[in-house]
Amino acid sequence: MNSVEIKLRTLTPIYTGGIEGKSERLHTQGMLGSMRWWYEAILRGQGVRACDPSRHSCLYNPNSRLNVEEQLCGACLVFGATGYARRFRLDVISQDAPAWPSREQALNIRPYGRTRGWYLNPGLVGMETLRLIGAETEVNRMLALLRFLERYGSIGAKPQHGHGVFRIEEPLHKQDDKNPLEFPAGYQAVGELPDLRVFTFFKFRFNPQSPTWWTQVPGLRELRSRREDWAIIEKQAVQGMVPVSPALKNHIRYGHQWSQSVAVWLFGTLRGNERIRSKISFSWAYRVDSGWEIRGWLYLPQDQTGRIFADYAENTRLLNSVLSDPKSWLQALGLQQDYKVQGEVTLEPQPVTWRPKTTEDVQRFLRDALRMRN
């Protein structure tokens, strides 16, 4: 059995759930859930079958004539399924604290003109030590997965609210030439579930001259009259993290012309019994070097009719024009009038950012992702 410890520093709060939405500690299951979600997307991106765990389609029967590889999908072989234990153990050792004191309600950020807004739970900030225990193969895969998430993804719940961005502080073992996240290409087509073949990752770096640039961000500037909420934002900004995800989501959803069906499908909804998860995620802004950075991702799964995205070409052109233009990001942040602010956008994978990728494209992207460091 191998045992490896990884030290993480939070760049935005990590949230894993808790009683009444108060993340008083990091819950291992919340961490594992997000790791599995990304692991499934990586498998599907290589055409390998990964089930929807909410449907409990993978069941292990030790008395079956089929071997375990024939009974379980690629994700369940590592993360476990009914009758089959997870192949590794994850322990969480924290040196963290709540991003802000517990409150009766989550922080409501509501840009001007919105009647509802976005509710942000505090999450935890600080240092986290994760201990992975298991066979060498599974431990190496989880280490590689964490390296990928450090660069492109997040850990824990509510990534759509900007939570869970981190940096690995303690260096990991040197990556071998063989990529632990690379599998023989399968034949599964792109479907409704997250699949790396239809992901686009984006990053925006900017260098505002004013240390209080965040006071202009829509949704945050409206909090000035609410002393307790404003104090929370001030504290986060001093610590190098600003919750700008509501302003960015507000800008891209309501500042552009989308059909109602596309808007609901792409940005999600929660009304009554209707629950559709957003396909786009923006992080908070976090300090890097002498500037600030925001990152996120978007995926465009294929629906049951066989279409990947309604009016695919037209809508992806709009997405590209919004997400690739630094002026659009500055406008969303309320900084477009400050000519001194410089911004730069990076979209990946290149050069096939918006069209569906092949399994070979995905494998090449994964190799590059593990080879490089932010």
pLDDT of residue 100: 86
pLDDT of residue 296: 96
pLDDT of residue 338: 78
What is the spatial distance between Cα 92 and Cα 101, in angstroms, rounded to a whole number? 22
Structural domains of the chain ordered from first start: 2-168 (3.30.70), 196-371 (no CATH)
pLDDT of residue 18: 64
What is the spatial distance between Cα 246 and Cα 256, in angstroms, rounded to a whole number? 15
174: burial class by Cβ within 10 Å (0-12, 13-18, 19+)?
Answer: exposed
Q: Spell out, as residue ranges, where the chain has pLDDT lower than 50.
A: 374
CB count within 10 Å of CB 85 equals 10
pLDDT of residue 103: 67
Which residue bears the tokens 């989501």? 249
pLDDT of residue 307: 59
The 8-class DSSP code of residue 157 comes to B
What is the spatial distance between Cα 64 and Cα 169, in angstroms, rounded to a whole number? 45
Q: How far is CA 103 from CA 23, 205, 232, 234, in A?
A: 11, 32, 11, 17
The encoded tokens of residue 249 equal 């989501």
Taking a C-beta distance cutoff of 8 angstroms, is the pair 236, 212 a contact?
A: no
Taking a C-beta distance cutoff of 8 angstroms, is the pair 156, 14 a contact?
A: yes
The sign of the torsion formed by the CA atoms of 177, 178, 179, 182 equals positive
Which residue bears the tokens 């929370």? 232
Q: What pLDDT digit, counting tens, does each position of 167-186 carry?
A: 999 766 555 567 899 999 99
What is the spatial distance between Cα 306 and Cα 80, in angstroms, rounded to a whole number? 30
The 8-class DSSP code of residue 279 comes to S
What is the spatial distance between Cα 374 and Cα 371, in angstroms, rounded to a whole number? 10
CB count within 10 Å of CB 74 equals 21
Q: What pLDDT digit, counting tens, does each position of 331-364 carry?
A: 999 998 877 888 999 999 988 788 889 999 999 9
**pTM of the entire predicted model:** 0.93
pLDDT of residue 75: 96
The 8-class DSSP code of residue 91 comes to E
Alpha carbon 234 to chain centroid distance? 24
What is the spatial distance between Cα 282 and Cα 296, in angstroms, rounded to a whole number? 4
pLDDT of residue 374: 46
